Amino acid sequence: MEQRLTPGASVSVIENGFRLTIPPGQGKSYRLAQLDDYTKLSRKEFPHRPSLGLSLRARASAGSIPGTWGFGLWNDPFGMAIGFGGNPSRLPALPSAVWFFHASQESHLSFSDKPGNGFLAQAFRSPAFPVGGLAKVGATFPFSRTSARAAMGEIIEEDGVRLGLDVTGWHGYRLEWGPERSAFWVDEALVLETSVSPRPPLGLVLWIDNQFAAWRPDGKIGFDVLENTAPAWLEIKDLSLE
């Protein structure tokens, strides 16, 4: 896997795994510690397709870290330097993902009535070329962001649940991505099974950062970086892809 690090961030080796750490700082600069297996690839060359299982153990430094962290598979939709972690070598895309995702309260990553922040088991599927749907979004956006958000919800299939557990303790996580389903387990208990299966190919990502993105139910859009007063970290052990 490749590292993506902003100044002061680090990936260190621990027993059977890694610790991803971002330093403290004000809400003026982006901070990221990431491991992935797709950084140098075009999106069509991302390495993973269903059927696939991902399992690991993880814990975080605090129950509510400003920004986001998580682990799973996605299509890295932020291209052309969109956002703070955007990849300038790729065009932007709509999201496809199957992952465990933690977002602080400033975020809202949902285009429907599903939870958009907290600690989530989440799946997104987007069409490859949603020309008609995006035209509808573009037509409604100048008049009503709420209507534009609803139009995005018609394009992007999603499912997700908020998980009520202490993320500072070690837990076992597993997800399965099949051609027609996605399923998630925490400590061997099934927490979500859904027909939403993201479109391949996807890349593996483990990360922690200090940004938020929100398209809230009232149509308000937000995107920025947050202050974290203490170092924040995510530890991963016993990572396995099957």
CATH number at residue 92: 2.60.120
Torsion 201-17-209-112 (CA) sign:
positive
pLDDT band at 62 (very low <50, low <70, confident <90, very high): very high
Query: Which amino acid is present at 19?
Result: R
Summarize the confidence of residues 234-238 as an average pLDDT: 98
Sheet with 189-194: list strands edge to edge: 10-14, 17-22, 232-241, 52-60, 171-177, 182-186, 189-194
pLDDT in tens, 81-105: 555 566 656 778 889 999 999 999 9
Residues of the domain holding 214: 2-241
pLDDT for 216: 82
pLDDT for 153: 66
Domain count, the chain: 1
Average pLDDT, whole number, for the chain?
88
Distances (CA, A) of 117 to 71, 108, 144: 15, 5, 23
38, 153 Cβ separation under 8 angstroms: no
Whether the pLDDT of residue 154 is over 90: the answer is: no
DSSP H or E segment with residue 112:
none
What is the CB-side half-sphere exposure of residue 5 using CA atoms within 13 A? 14
